[in-house]
Amino acid sequence: MFVGDVPVHTLSESQMAEWRGRNLGIIFQFFQLLPALSIIENVMLPMDFCNMYLPRERFERAMRLLNQVEMAEHAHKLPSAVSGGQQQRVAIARALANDPPLLIADEPTGNLDSKTANAVFRLFEELVDTGKTVVMVTHDSDLAKRVNRAVIVADGEIVNEYVAKALSTLSVDQLALVTHQLEARTYTPGAPIISQGEPADQFYIITKGQVEILLHHPDGQAIVVTTLREGQYFGEIGLLRGGARTASVRAAPETKVEVVALDRDEFNSLIAESEPTRAAMDQVANQRFIENSAAREREVSHA
């Protein structure tokens, strides 16, 4: 396996340890500061281990990093002399010691109160603004909503990000169940997906490309009402109202479309188990029904 241009699978254990020390900054849930070393010695340790920077520069760099995380005044204390939130700030400074391009944070706020967790997360946001990449593992859904990109793992599998976006009101366990029930389908450019008037039997989420929602004019012409994109869904109106399709849907003409489909029984089970999902879909369905009806009336009046 290559990371950048480095074949990490060929590295020995000691070489791998040095590579990690130079390229990854690890932030642990329980800080993992060495209790017998002072705070500044903990921050200097990665520089010593990887022989980064000149010896006389390491102290100055460690102080700059501690100042960045507002811990410089505690530099010569032992970790046990400061609070958990302060220890996590020191752990972040230590992770930055060798200026790695990537920070890996394993439940970094899981052992902190909400106020301190929010302060630590703001520090991550500041680091991202300076060009760092932070990969954070968290079970805190509120924090997960604040990141640039969230990857949901359920039962050891990655949930498609567009499925997670479309069904954002589901719990992780519910997402895991739905993911195993979804059927992937691909449509060529311009291909029909569902037809107005046919029985409603499937619910669809777009995972790649775009689809067009169509209404049929009395003279037989198809009118494009709107375009839906990745992370949006369709087919819910007929399923929620127990009737036929109120519009047609086709793949946009420019590129192929990939969707995942859920059959009627599984869809009904889903919304029965998640009232927030039912409420969100009802709201979207009502809005779309109003838009479709208004578009139909405009076209009839212009006919």
Write the pLDDT tens digit of every residue in 35-73. Answer: 999 999 999 999 998 888 998 899 999 999 999 888 999
Domain ranges of the chain: 2-150, 161-302
**Which of 3.30.70.20, 1.10.240.10, 2.60.120.10, 3.30.300.30 is the CATH number of 161-302?**
2.60.120.10
Contacts 24+ apart (CB under 8 A), 124-127: 127/92, 127/96, 127/103
Distances (CA, A) of 181 to 19, 161, 192, 245, 264: 41, 16, 23, 22, 11
- The fraction of the chain above a pLDDT of 90, given in percent, is 40
Per-residue model confidence (pLDDT) at position 297: 66
251-283 pLDDT, tens digit each: 999 889 999 999 999 999 988 988 999 999 899
Q: Indicate the average pLDDT of the chain.
A: 87
210-245 pLDDT, tens digit each: 999 988 766 667 788 889 999 999 999 889 888 788
Q: What pTM was estimated for this model as a whole?
A: 0.66
Per-residue model confidence (pLDDT) at position 300: 52
- Give the span between the Cα atoms of 71 and 104, in whole angstroms: 21
Q: How confident is the model at residue 287 (pLDDT cuts 50, 70, 90)?
A: confident
Per-residue model confidence (pLDDT) at position 57: 93
Per-residue model confidence (pLDDT) at position 62: 95
Give all strands (DSSP E) within 235-282, no chain letters: 248-251, 257-263
Contact 292, 215 (CB under 8 A): yes
- Give the span between the Cα atoms of 160 and 230, in whole angstroms: 11
* H or E stretch covering 181: helix 172-181
- Give the span between the Cα atoms of 17 and 26, in whole angstroms: 12
**Is the predicted pLDDT of residue 209 greater than 90, yes or no?**
yes
74: helix, strand or coil: helix
Per-residue model confidence (pLDDT) at position 141: 74
Per-residue model confidence (pLDDT) at position 126: 87
- Give the span between the Cα atoms of 94 and 111, in whole angstroms: 18
Contact 250, 210 (CB under 8 A): no
Per-residue model confidence (pLDDT) at position 75: 95
251: helix, strand or coil: strand
Phi-psi region of 247 (alpha: psi -120 to 50; beta: other; left: phi over 0): beta
Report whether CATH 3.40.50.1820 matches the domain 2-150: no
Q: How confident is the model at residue 159 (pLDDT cuts 50, 70, 90)?
A: confident
The structure tokens listed for 178 are: 């739905």
The structure tokens listed for 64 are: 């700059």
The dihedral through the CA atoms of 150, 153, 157, 162 has a sign that is negative
Average pLDDT for residues 137-152, to the nearest whole number? 81
Distances (CA, A) of 302 to 115, 237, 259: 59, 26, 34
Torsion of CA 38, 40, 46, 52, to 10 degrees: -140
